[in-house]
Amino acid sequence: MGSAERLATSAHTSLSQTYRNIRSASLALCEPLAIEDFVVQSMPDVSPTKWHLAHTTWFFEQFLLVPKVAGYRPFDERFTFLFNSYYESVGERHARRQRGLLTRPTVAEIYEYRNHVDQHMQRLLDARGGEADIAQIATLGFHHEQQHQELMFTDLKHVLSCNPLKPAYRARTTRNESPASLPLEYVEFPEGIHHVGTNDAAFFFDNESPRHRVYLQAFALATRLVTNGEYAQFVRGGGYRRADLWLADGWTHINSEAWNRPLYWSEGLDSEFTLAGMVDLDAATPVSHLSFYEADAFARWAGARLPTEAEWEVAARNAAVAGNFVESEQLHPQAAPATSGLAQLYGDVWEWTASAYAPYPGYQPLAGALGEYNGKFMCNQLVLRGGSCVTPASHIRSTYRNFFYPQARWQFMGVRLARNI
Protein backbone atom coordinates (compact mmCIF):
# COMPACT_ATOMS: atom_id res chain seq x y z
CA MET A 1 0.00 0.00 0.00
CA GLY A 2 1.12 3.57 -0.58
CA SER A 3 1.82 5.80 2.37
CA ALA A 4 -1.51 7.57 2.01
CA GLU A 5 -3.22 4.21 2.51
CA ARG A 6 -1.50 3.27 5.76
CA LEU A 7 -2.99 3.62 9.17
CA ALA A 8 -1.15 6.48 10.81
CA THR A 9 0.34 5.44 14.14
CA SER A 10 2.32 8.56 15.01
CA ALA A 11 1.26 10.43 18.12
CA HIS A 12 1.49 13.58 16.01
CA THR A 13 -1.19 12.39 13.61
CA SER A 14 -4.71 13.22 14.73
CA LEU A 15 -7.53 10.72 14.75
CA SER A 16 -9.25 12.98 12.24
CA GLN A 17 -6.34 12.72 9.79
CA THR A 18 -6.09 8.98 10.28
CA TYR A 19 -9.80 8.71 9.57
CA ARG A 20 -9.36 10.62 6.30
CA ASN A 21 -6.45 8.40 5.27
CA ILE A 22 -8.32 5.17 5.91
CA ARG A 23 -11.54 6.28 4.25
CA SER A 24 -9.72 7.64 1.22
CA ALA A 25 -7.83 4.37 0.84
CA SER A 26 -11.10 2.44 0.45
CA LEU A 27 -12.24 4.73 -2.35
CA ALA A 28 -8.84 4.55 -4.02
CA LEU A 29 -9.19 0.76 -4.24
CA CYS A 30 -12.36 1.28 -6.25
CA GLU A 31 -10.86 3.57 -8.87
CA PRO A 32 -10.10 0.82 -11.43
CA LEU A 33 -13.66 -0.55 -11.23
CA ALA A 34 -16.55 -0.15 -13.63
CA ILE A 35 -19.91 0.56 -12.06
CA GLU A 36 -21.04 -3.00 -12.85
CA ASP A 37 -18.21 -4.43 -10.74
CA PHE A 38 -19.61 -2.98 -7.52
CA VAL A 39 -22.74 -5.11 -7.24
CA VAL A 40 -21.86 -8.72 -8.10
CA GLN A 41 -21.85 -11.46 -5.45
CA SER A 42 -20.25 -14.60 -6.86
CA MET A 43 -20.84 -16.88 -3.84
CA PRO A 44 -22.26 -16.54 -0.31
CA ASP A 45 -18.86 -15.86 1.27
CA VAL A 46 -18.23 -12.95 -1.12
CA SER A 47 -19.73 -9.53 -0.53
CA PRO A 48 -20.18 -6.95 -3.30
CA THR A 49 -17.74 -4.03 -3.24
CA LYS A 50 -20.68 -1.68 -2.77
CA TRP A 51 -21.70 -3.54 0.37
CA HIS A 52 -18.19 -3.24 1.86
CA LEU A 53 -18.24 0.53 1.28
CA ALA A 54 -21.62 0.81 2.96
CA HIS A 55 -20.97 -1.56 5.86
CA THR A 56 -17.76 0.17 6.95
CA THR A 57 -19.68 3.45 6.90
CA TRP A 58 -22.52 1.92 8.90
CA PHE A 59 -19.96 0.82 11.53
CA PHE A 60 -18.92 4.41 12.26
CA GLU A 61 -22.50 5.64 12.17
CA GLN A 62 -23.83 2.85 14.39
CA PHE A 63 -21.12 2.77 17.04
CA LEU A 64 -20.03 6.41 17.18
CA LEU A 65 -22.40 8.92 15.61
CA VAL A 66 -25.69 7.51 16.86
CA PRO A 67 -24.65 7.02 20.51
CA LYS A 68 -22.16 9.91 20.84
CA VAL A 69 -23.60 12.84 18.87
CA ALA A 70 -26.70 14.46 20.36
CA GLY A 71 -29.43 14.93 17.79
CA TYR A 72 -27.66 12.95 15.06
CA ARG A 73 -30.09 11.48 12.56
CA PRO A 74 -28.94 8.47 10.48
CA PHE A 75 -28.58 9.07 6.76
CA ASP A 76 -31.22 6.40 6.09
CA GLU A 77 -32.85 4.33 8.86
CA ARG A 78 -33.21 1.37 6.48
CA PHE A 79 -29.43 1.05 6.15
CA THR A 80 -29.20 -0.44 9.64
CA PHE A 81 -31.02 -3.49 8.31
CA LEU A 82 -29.22 -3.57 4.96
CA PHE A 83 -25.63 -3.12 6.14
CA ASN A 84 -25.44 -4.75 9.55
CA SER A 85 -23.15 -7.76 9.14
CA TYR A 86 -23.59 -10.09 12.13
CA TYR A 87 -24.38 -7.95 15.19
CA GLU A 88 -27.36 -9.73 16.70
CA SER A 89 -27.69 -7.16 19.50
CA VAL A 90 -28.14 -4.37 16.95
CA GLY A 91 -31.13 -5.99 15.29
CA GLU A 92 -32.32 -7.82 12.19
CA ARG A 93 -30.24 -7.73 9.02
CA HIS A 94 -30.35 -8.59 5.34
CA ALA A 95 -29.22 -12.15 4.60
CA ARG A 96 -25.53 -12.37 3.71
CA ARG A 97 -26.11 -14.68 0.74
CA GLN A 98 -28.49 -12.10 -0.78
CA ARG A 99 -26.25 -9.03 -0.67
CA GLY A 100 -25.79 -9.22 -4.43
CA LEU A 101 -29.51 -8.58 -4.90
CA LEU A 102 -29.21 -5.04 -3.53
CA THR A 103 -29.19 -3.07 -6.77
CA ARG A 104 -30.64 -0.26 -4.66
CA PRO A 105 -29.39 1.83 -2.98
CA THR A 106 -27.21 2.67 -5.94
CA VAL A 107 -23.43 3.03 -5.88
CA ALA A 108 -23.91 6.81 -6.13
CA GLU A 109 -26.16 6.75 -3.05
CA ILE A 110 -23.57 4.74 -1.14
CA TYR A 111 -20.96 7.36 -1.97
CA GLU A 112 -23.39 10.02 -0.69
CA TYR A 113 -23.83 7.97 2.48
CA ARG A 114 -20.06 7.81 3.00
CA ASN A 115 -19.75 11.54 2.45
CA HIS A 116 -22.54 12.27 4.94
CA VAL A 117 -21.00 10.09 7.65
CA ASP A 118 -17.48 11.37 6.90
CA GLN A 119 -18.54 14.97 7.48
CA HIS A 120 -20.11 14.15 10.84
CA MET A 121 -17.20 11.92 11.86
CA GLN A 122 -14.67 14.64 11.07
CA ARG A 123 -16.53 17.06 13.30
CA LEU A 124 -16.78 14.49 16.09
CA LEU A 125 -13.11 13.56 15.97
CA ASP A 126 -11.94 17.16 15.69
CA ALA A 127 -13.99 18.18 18.72
CA ARG A 128 -13.89 15.07 20.93
CA GLY A 129 -11.20 12.76 19.60
CA GLY A 130 -9.34 13.10 22.88
CA GLU A 131 -12.08 11.29 24.78
CA ALA A 132 -10.89 7.76 25.54
CA ASP A 133 -14.04 5.89 24.53
CA ILE A 134 -14.38 7.76 21.24
CA ALA A 135 -10.70 7.23 20.40
CA GLN A 136 -10.96 3.53 21.23
CA ILE A 137 -14.01 2.88 19.06
CA ALA A 138 -12.69 5.04 16.22
CA THR A 139 -9.41 3.12 16.18
CA LEU A 140 -11.29 -0.17 16.12
CA GLY A 141 -13.26 1.26 13.19
CA PHE A 142 -10.03 2.09 11.36
CA HIS A 143 -8.80 -1.49 11.65
CA HIS A 144 -12.26 -2.80 10.81
CA GLU A 145 -12.17 -0.82 7.57
CA GLN A 146 -8.68 -2.13 6.79
CA GLN A 147 -10.04 -5.66 7.16
CA HIS A 148 -12.69 -4.80 4.61
CA GLN A 149 -10.14 -3.24 2.27
CA GLU A 150 -8.47 -6.64 2.21
CA LEU A 151 -11.81 -8.34 1.66
CA MET A 152 -12.60 -5.97 -1.20
CA PHE A 153 -9.56 -7.31 -3.06
CA THR A 154 -10.26 -10.91 -2.11
CA ASP A 155 -13.94 -10.81 -3.00
CA LEU A 156 -13.41 -8.86 -6.20
CA LYS A 157 -10.82 -11.40 -7.37
CA HIS A 158 -13.41 -14.17 -7.00
CA VAL A 159 -16.02 -12.09 -8.80
CA LEU A 160 -13.71 -11.39 -11.76
CA SER A 161 -12.56 -15.02 -11.91
CA CYS A 162 -16.16 -16.11 -12.56
CA ASN A 163 -16.27 -14.01 -15.73
CA PRO A 164 -15.32 -16.07 -18.83
CA LEU A 165 -13.37 -13.04 -20.10
CA LYS A 166 -11.07 -13.29 -17.05
CA PRO A 167 -10.74 -9.50 -16.75
CA ALA A 168 -7.93 -7.91 -14.75
CA TYR A 169 -8.52 -5.61 -11.81
CA ARG A 170 -5.45 -3.71 -12.96
CA ALA A 171 -2.27 -4.41 -14.90
CA ARG A 172 0.63 -6.17 -13.25
CA THR A 173 3.51 -3.96 -12.19
CA THR A 174 7.19 -4.82 -11.94
CA ARG A 175 7.72 -7.74 -9.61
CA ASN A 176 10.53 -8.50 -7.20
CA GLU A 177 13.26 -10.94 -8.09
CA SER A 178 12.06 -14.48 -7.54
CA PRO A 179 13.86 -16.62 -4.93
CA ALA A 180 13.58 -19.68 -7.21
CA SER A 181 17.14 -20.85 -6.55
CA LEU A 182 16.89 -20.68 -2.77
CA PRO A 183 16.47 -24.04 -1.04
CA LEU A 184 13.80 -24.80 1.47
CA GLU A 185 15.59 -24.82 4.81
CA TYR A 186 14.57 -24.80 8.45
CA VAL A 187 15.43 -22.64 11.45
CA GLU A 188 15.44 -24.51 14.75
CA PHE A 189 13.98 -23.24 18.02
CA PRO A 190 14.73 -24.88 21.38
CA GLU A 191 12.06 -26.03 23.78
CA GLY A 192 11.04 -23.64 26.47
CA ILE A 193 8.47 -21.32 27.94
CA HIS A 194 7.48 -18.33 25.81
CA HIS A 195 5.05 -15.43 25.96
CA VAL A 196 2.29 -15.25 23.36
CA GLY A 197 -0.35 -12.59 22.81
CA THR A 198 -0.22 -8.95 23.79
CA ASN A 199 -1.17 -6.40 26.40
CA ASP A 200 0.57 -3.55 24.55
CA ALA A 201 -0.68 0.01 24.60
CA ALA A 202 -0.85 -0.04 20.80
CA PHE A 203 -3.99 -1.29 19.09
CA PHE A 204 -4.85 -5.00 19.07
CA PHE A 205 -8.07 -6.94 18.63
CA ASP A 206 -9.49 -8.43 21.81
CA ASN A 207 -8.71 -11.98 20.61
CA GLU A 208 -4.96 -11.19 20.69
CA SER A 209 -4.98 -10.84 24.47
CA PRO A 210 -4.14 -11.40 27.20
CA ARG A 211 -0.42 -12.04 26.97
CA HIS A 212 0.27 -15.44 28.50
CA ARG A 213 2.89 -18.15 28.78
CA VAL A 214 3.06 -21.30 26.64
CA TYR A 215 5.44 -24.23 26.71
CA LEU A 216 6.76 -25.33 23.32
CA GLN A 217 8.65 -28.47 22.41
CA ALA A 218 11.68 -27.88 20.19
CA PHE A 219 10.60 -27.23 16.62
CA ALA A 220 11.86 -26.03 13.27
CA LEU A 221 10.15 -23.56 10.92
CA ALA A 222 10.73 -23.33 7.17
CA THR A 223 12.69 -20.32 5.93
CA ARG A 224 10.23 -19.65 3.15
CA LEU A 225 6.72 -20.44 1.99
CA VAL A 226 5.78 -23.40 -0.17
CA THR A 227 5.87 -22.40 -3.84
CA ASN A 228 3.64 -23.03 -6.83
CA GLY A 229 6.29 -25.32 -8.25
CA GLU A 230 6.44 -27.46 -5.14
CA TYR A 231 2.68 -27.66 -4.88
CA ALA A 232 2.43 -28.60 -8.58
CA GLN A 233 4.64 -31.61 -7.81
CA PHE A 234 2.13 -32.63 -5.15
CA VAL A 235 -0.74 -32.32 -7.65
CA ARG A 236 1.05 -34.14 -10.46
CA GLY A 237 2.17 -36.82 -8.03
CA GLY A 238 -1.43 -37.74 -7.29
CA GLY A 239 -1.75 -35.88 -4.01
CA TYR A 240 -5.48 -35.29 -4.51
CA ARG A 241 -6.02 -39.03 -5.10
CA ARG A 242 -4.26 -40.38 -2.01
CA ALA A 243 -6.65 -40.77 0.89
CA ASP A 244 -3.76 -41.47 3.28
CA LEU A 245 -2.62 -37.84 3.01
CA TRP A 246 -5.93 -36.28 3.99
CA LEU A 247 -7.89 -35.72 7.15
CA ALA A 248 -11.26 -37.49 6.91
CA ASP A 249 -13.19 -34.22 6.65
CA GLY A 250 -10.79 -32.98 4.00
CA TRP A 251 -11.03 -36.16 1.94
CA THR A 252 -14.82 -35.95 2.04
CA HIS A 253 -14.75 -32.28 1.07
CA ILE A 254 -12.35 -32.49 -1.88
CA ASN A 255 -14.33 -35.39 -3.32
CA SER A 256 -17.73 -33.78 -2.85
CA GLU A 257 -16.43 -30.53 -4.39
CA ALA A 258 -14.30 -32.28 -7.04
CA TRP A 259 -11.17 -30.35 -6.08
CA ASN A 260 -8.00 -31.48 -7.85
CA ARG A 261 -5.85 -28.32 -7.81
CA PRO A 262 -5.71 -24.93 -6.08
CA LEU A 263 -8.43 -22.39 -6.66
CA TYR A 264 -7.64 -20.18 -9.70
CA TRP A 265 -5.17 -22.65 -11.29
CA SER A 266 -5.89 -23.74 -14.85
CA GLU A 267 -6.67 -27.39 -15.53
CA GLY A 268 -3.31 -27.77 -17.24
CA LEU A 269 -1.50 -26.39 -14.16
CA ASP A 270 0.31 -23.88 -16.36
CA SER A 271 -1.52 -20.63 -15.54
CA GLU A 272 -3.51 -19.00 -12.75
CA PHE A 273 -6.01 -16.20 -12.39
CA THR A 274 -4.70 -13.16 -10.50
CA LEU A 275 -5.81 -9.59 -9.95
CA ALA A 276 -3.84 -8.90 -13.12
CA GLY A 277 -5.88 -11.47 -15.05
CA MET A 278 -4.62 -14.85 -16.27
CA VAL A 279 -0.84 -15.19 -16.05
CA ASP A 280 1.64 -18.01 -16.51
CA LEU A 281 2.08 -20.01 -13.34
CA ASP A 282 5.30 -18.85 -11.71
CA ALA A 283 6.94 -21.85 -10.05
CA ALA A 284 8.74 -19.67 -7.49
CA THR A 285 5.73 -17.66 -6.31
CA PRO A 286 4.19 -18.78 -2.99
CA VAL A 287 1.21 -21.03 -3.62
CA SER A 288 -2.01 -19.34 -2.61
CA HIS A 289 -5.74 -19.92 -2.18
CA LEU A 290 -5.41 -23.26 -0.42
CA SER A 291 -7.85 -24.57 2.14
CA PHE A 292 -6.61 -25.85 5.49
CA TYR A 293 -7.30 -29.36 4.22
CA GLU A 294 -4.99 -28.84 1.23
CA ALA A 295 -2.28 -27.19 3.31
CA ASP A 296 -2.38 -30.03 5.83
CA ALA A 297 -2.29 -32.73 3.13
CA PHE A 298 0.67 -31.09 1.41
CA ALA A 299 2.57 -30.84 4.69
CA ARG A 300 2.04 -34.56 5.32
CA TRP A 301 3.16 -35.38 1.76
CA ALA A 302 6.29 -33.27 2.31
CA GLY A 303 7.18 -35.12 5.52
CA ALA A 304 6.43 -32.09 7.64
CA ARG A 305 3.48 -30.46 9.40
CA LEU A 306 1.80 -27.11 9.85
CA PRO A 307 3.12 -24.93 12.68
CA THR A 308 1.00 -24.07 15.67
CA GLU A 309 0.13 -20.41 16.03
CA ALA A 310 2.32 -20.17 19.13
CA GLU A 311 5.30 -21.55 17.20
CA TRP A 312 4.69 -19.07 14.40
CA GLU A 313 4.46 -16.12 16.79
CA VAL A 314 7.59 -17.10 18.70
CA ALA A 315 9.51 -17.33 15.42
CA ALA A 316 8.15 -13.98 14.25
CA ARG A 317 9.30 -12.32 17.46
CA ASN A 318 12.76 -13.85 17.45
CA ALA A 319 14.93 -11.10 15.98
CA ALA A 320 18.02 -13.24 16.35
CA VAL A 321 17.00 -15.36 13.37
CA ALA A 322 15.65 -12.54 11.23
CA GLY A 323 18.38 -12.91 8.66
CA ASN A 324 17.61 -16.59 8.16
CA PHE A 325 14.16 -16.01 6.74
CA VAL A 326 13.75 -15.47 3.02
CA GLU A 327 11.70 -12.55 1.77
CA SER A 328 9.37 -14.32 -0.61
CA GLU A 329 7.95 -12.74 -3.70
CA GLN A 330 5.01 -10.39 -3.64
CA LEU A 331 2.02 -11.94 -5.33
CA HIS A 332 0.42 -8.79 -6.66
CA PRO A 333 1.30 -5.12 -7.17
CA GLN A 334 -0.58 -3.98 -4.08
CA ALA A 335 1.49 -6.17 -1.77
CA ALA A 336 2.43 -4.75 1.61
CA PRO A 337 6.02 -3.49 1.87
CA ALA A 338 8.50 -4.80 4.38
CA THR A 339 8.01 -3.25 7.79
CA SER A 340 10.66 -4.91 9.97
CA GLY A 341 13.58 -7.31 9.96
CA LEU A 342 11.14 -10.21 10.16
CA ALA A 343 8.75 -8.87 7.53
CA GLN A 344 9.66 -11.92 5.43
CA LEU A 345 7.11 -13.72 7.57
CA TYR A 346 4.45 -11.21 6.58
CA GLY A 347 2.73 -9.89 3.52
CA ASP A 348 2.64 -12.71 0.95
CA VAL A 349 -0.14 -15.08 2.01
CA TRP A 350 -1.94 -15.82 5.23
CA GLU A 351 -0.26 -18.92 6.63
CA TRP A 352 -2.41 -21.76 7.91
CA THR A 353 -1.56 -23.05 11.38
CA ALA A 354 -2.61 -26.26 13.09
CA SER A 355 -4.28 -24.30 15.90
CA ALA A 356 -8.00 -24.12 16.52
CA TYR A 357 -9.35 -20.60 16.92
CA ALA A 358 -10.03 -20.48 20.65
CA PRO A 359 -9.83 -17.91 23.45
CA TYR A 360 -6.57 -17.28 25.23
CA PRO A 361 -6.54 -17.97 29.00
CA GLY A 362 -8.32 -15.06 30.67
CA TYR A 363 -9.82 -13.72 27.42
CA GLN A 364 -12.52 -11.09 27.83
CA PRO A 365 -14.55 -9.78 24.87
CA LEU A 366 -15.38 -6.11 24.55
CA ALA A 367 -18.49 -4.87 26.30
CA GLY A 368 -21.78 -4.46 24.45
CA ALA A 369 -22.39 -5.12 20.77
CA LEU A 370 -18.69 -4.81 19.93
CA GLY A 371 -18.17 -7.94 22.00
CA GLU A 372 -19.59 -9.80 18.99
CA TYR A 373 -16.59 -8.78 16.88
CA ASN A 374 -14.42 -11.86 17.56
CA GLY A 375 -15.39 -14.00 20.52
CA LYS A 376 -18.55 -15.60 19.18
CA PHE A 377 -16.66 -17.08 16.23
CA MET A 378 -14.33 -19.18 18.40
CA CYS A 379 -15.68 -22.52 17.21
CA ASN A 380 -14.81 -24.83 14.29
CA GLN A 381 -12.29 -22.43 12.72
CA LEU A 382 -8.50 -22.49 12.32
CA VAL A 383 -5.99 -19.70 12.90
CA LEU A 384 -3.88 -18.13 10.16
CA ARG A 385 -0.93 -15.83 10.73
CA GLY A 386 1.23 -13.35 8.84
CA GLY A 387 -0.93 -11.20 6.59
CA SER A 388 -1.16 -11.35 2.82
CA CYS A 389 -0.27 -9.34 -0.24
CA VAL A 390 -3.58 -7.48 0.07
CA THR A 391 -3.34 -6.75 3.79
CA PRO A 392 -2.58 -3.07 4.49
CA ALA A 393 0.99 -2.89 5.79
CA SER A 394 0.15 -1.07 9.01
CA HIS A 395 -2.52 -3.67 9.80
CA ILE A 396 0.01 -6.51 10.08
CA ARG A 397 1.60 -7.50 13.39
CA SER A 398 3.06 -10.63 14.98
CA THR A 399 0.09 -11.20 17.31
CA TYR A 400 -2.67 -10.85 14.67
CA ARG A 401 -5.00 -13.88 14.66
CA ASN A 402 -6.94 -14.36 11.45
CA PHE A 403 -9.40 -17.24 11.34
CA PHE A 404 -11.36 -19.14 8.72
CA TYR A 405 -13.25 -22.38 8.32
CA PRO A 406 -11.00 -25.21 7.06
CA GLN A 407 -12.71 -25.44 3.67
CA ALA A 408 -12.27 -21.73 2.85
CA ARG A 409 -9.75 -20.89 0.13
CA TRP A 410 -10.85 -17.72 -1.65
CA GLN A 411 -8.69 -15.73 0.77
CA PHE A 412 -4.93 -15.44 0.05
CA MET A 413 -3.93 -18.53 2.06
CA GLY A 414 -0.75 -20.56 1.82
CA VAL A 415 1.69 -22.84 3.62
CA ARG A 416 4.84 -22.55 5.72
CA LEU A 417 6.08 -25.93 6.90
CA ALA A 418 7.22 -26.92 10.37
CA ARG A 419 8.92 -29.98 11.82
CA ASN A 420 9.55 -31.56 15.19
CA ILE A 421 13.18 -31.80 16.26
Q: What is the pLDDT of residue 174?
A: 58
Same domain, 219 and 133: no
Residues whose CB falls within 8 Å of the CB of residue 82, separated by 6 or more in sequence, listed in order: 54, 93, 94, 102, 105
pLDDT in tens, 323-345: 444 433 233 333 333 333 233 67
Same domain, 234 and 99: no
Report the C-alpha gap between 235 and 241 in whole angstroms.
9
Q: How confident is the model at residue 226 (pLDDT cuts 50, 70, 90)?
A: very high
pLDDT in tens, 284-326: 999 999 999 999 999 999 999 999 999 999 999 884 344 444 4
Residue 231 lies in a domain: yes
CATH number of the domain that 218 lies in? Answer: 3.90.1580.10
Residue 167 lies in a domain: no
Count up the domains in the chain and report the number.
Answer: 2
pLDDT in tens, 203-213: 999 999 999 99
Q: What is the pLDDT of residue 176?
A: 54
Residue that finishes a domain, picked among 126, 161, 196: 161
Q: Is the pLDDT of residue 10 over 50?
A: no
Out of 131-140, 231-240, 318-327, which region has the weakest mean confidence (pLDDT)?
Answer: 318-327
Q: What is the pLDDT of residue 2?
A: 31
Q: What DSSP string runs through 217-258?
A: --EEEESSPPBHHHHHHHHHTTGGG-GGGS-HHHHHHHHHTT
Same domain, 39 and 148: yes
| Residue 416 phi, psi (nearest 5) | -120, 125
Q: What is the pLDDT of residue 344?
A: 65
Higher pLDDT, 336 or 48: 48
Cα of first residue to Cα of last residue in the chain, in angstroms, is: 38
pLDDT in tens, 171-204: 876 555 555 457 899 999 999 999 999 998 889 9
Provide the residue range defining the domain that includes 329. Answer: 186-420
Q: In this prediction, what percent of the chain has a pLDDT beyond 90? A: 84
Residue 196 lies in a domain: yes
The per-residue pLDDT of the chain, averaged, comes to: 90
Residue 175 lies in a domain: no
Q: What is the pLDDT of residue 180?
A: 46
Same domain, 115 and 239: no
CB 382: neighbour CB atoms within 10 A? 22
Residue 412 lies in a domain: yes
Looking at the DSSP bridge assignments, the partners of residue 265 are 272
Residue 100 lies in a domain: yes
Same domain, 124 and 242: no
Q: How confident is the model at residue 11 (pLDDT cuts 50, 70, 90)?
A: very low
Same domain, 210 and 258: yes
Same domain, 215 and 361: yes
Residue that finishes a domain, picked among 161, 178, 199: 161
Residue that finishes a domain, picked among 112, 144, 161: 161
Closest CA to 79 of 100, 99, 96, 54: 54
Per the rule left: phi > 0, alpha: psi between -120 and 50, beta: everything else, 382 is beta
